[in-house]
Amino acid sequence: MKSVRMAPGADVAARSAGWRGAQFGLMSNMGLAIVKLVAGLAGNSYALVADAVESAADVVASLVVLGGLRLAARDADDDYPFGYGRAEPIAAATVSLMLVGAAIGIGWEAVTSIRNPHGAPAAWTLFVLVGVVAVKQWLFRRQHAAGRESGSPAVQADAWHHLSDAVTSGAAFVGISVSVIGGPGWEAADDWAALVAAIVIAANGVVLLRPALHDLMDRAPEPNLRERILNAASTVSDVLHLEKLKVRRVGTALFVDLHVQADPALSLHDAHIVSGRVKSAIRRDVPNTTGVLIHMEPYEPPTT
């Protein structure tokens, strides 16, 4: 039996990409939140104020993601022998719950405003929203690429948070447009837009929460990943049969537990060599595999 743990260089580079993306997202969200809040208050648009609140939640979410990435990057120690990778799905789950919480708050205020009508928003706020949507779409694409590169659930959740903000801004644009064009009697369109945005944000939060919970519960990864691991191990000579494969994801890292059957006549030393070759083959074909535990067993042909 052989156990190996090591942090591949590719994983370090991926974490760096996710870290840079989260930092950039944080600074962008701070600027956008201030712009939208000032424009919303000055332009009498609750949809824009609600959008600013959502951007403020984005700031906190980015801080959570940065904290999760920083903690997950720490090396394993005696207290956490499997590393700190769980910090990433915890951060992703936190961001998701924040989305749901922001949606509830925005929805509540939107309903209150619908029941208590206010004046129409200023037309110039539409130009602010056009710029916000463009920036948020760009941030989403940038962060989504960083999330795919790093394989980080926290970075991916942060990317979708950017997209949800673009959706709320788009909804605000529609609501303000209807309110301005419709004139008296259509002021509530601004609040209805905020309510629609709240529903979309809540839905995104629920969707993002599921994969984070799956990682925290050690759910088995996708079937094609298991096939890649088995195919890699089966290419090693002296491997006669593979069974009891278990894979779990800890942040961006994978931990593999595999039973390998070989010729019973192999010496303990030779069996140890075979297990090392299997480990190397798996790490070669699945680069983000951080831990590999191989159980060597004697091969027993199936009885007829």
- Structural domain containing residue 242: 223-298
Are 258 and 187 members of one domain?
Answer: no
The confidence score (pLDDT) of residue 6 equals 40
DSSP state, residue 298 = E
The confidence score (pLDDT) of residue 151 equals 66
304 domain-assigned: no
Nearest 5 degrees, angle CA 14-CA 20-CA 22? 105
Are 127 and 35 members of one domain?
Answer: yes
Tens digits of per-residue pLDDT, 123-167? Answer: 888 888 888 888 888 888 877 777 777 666 667 767 777 777 787
Are 138 and 67 members of one domain?
Answer: yes
Are 110 and 236 members of one domain?
Answer: no
Are 245 and 203 members of one domain?
Answer: no
The CATH number linked to 32 is 1.20.1510.10
Are 228 and 212 members of one domain?
Answer: no
Domain count, the chain: 2
Q: Which of 193, 216, 239 is the last residue of a domain?
A: 216
Measured over the CA atoms of residue 7, residue 145, residue 205 and residue 247, the dihedral's sign is negative
278 domain-assigned: yes
Is residue 258 predicted with pLDDT exceeding 90?
yes
Q: Which of 194, 216, 238 is the last residue of a domain?
A: 216
Are 228 and 211 members of one domain?
Answer: no
Tens digits of per-residue pLDDT, 87-113? Answer: 878 888 888 888 888 788 878 878 887
The confidence score (pLDDT) of residue 114 equals 80
The CATH number linked to 280 is 3.30.70.1350
Residue whose pair of structure tokens reads 């969200």 in the numeric block = 29
Q: Which of 188, 216, 244 is the last residue of a domain?
A: 216
Are 231 and 121 members of one domain?
Answer: no
Query: Which has the minimum average pLDDT: 20-29, 97-106, 262-271?
Result: 20-29
Are 228 and 205 members of one domain?
Answer: no
What does residue 17 show for φ and ψ, rounded to 5 degrees? -65, -45
Tens digits of per-residue pLDDT, 285-298? Answer: 887 788 899 999 99
* Selected residue with higher pLDDT from 115 and 147: 115
The confidence score (pLDDT) of residue 35 equals 85
3 domain-assigned: no
The confidence score (pLDDT) of residue 15 equals 56
Are 280 and 179 members of one domain?
Answer: no
Q: With bands split at pLDDT 50, 70 and 90, how would you rate the model's confidence at 7?
A: very low
251 domain-assigned: yes
Are 190 and 121 members of one domain?
Answer: yes
The confidence score (pLDDT) of residue 2 equals 42
236 φψ region: left (φ > 0), alpha (ψ -120 to 50), beta (else): beta
56 domain-assigned: yes
Are 133 and 247 members of one domain?
Answer: no
207-229 in b/e form (b: 16+ CB < 10 A) is ebbebbeebbeeeebeeebeebb
Torsion angle of the four alpha carbons 48, 52, 57, 63, in this order, in degrees rounded to the nearest 10: 150
303 domain-assigned: no
Q: With bands split at pLDDT 50, 70 and 90, how would you rate the model's confidence at 278?
A: very high
Tokens, residue 47: 């949809």
Measured over the CA atoms of residue 69, residue 214, residue 97 and residue 143, the dihedral's sign is positive
34 domain-assigned: yes
Q: Model-level pTM?
A: 0.63
2 domain-assigned: no
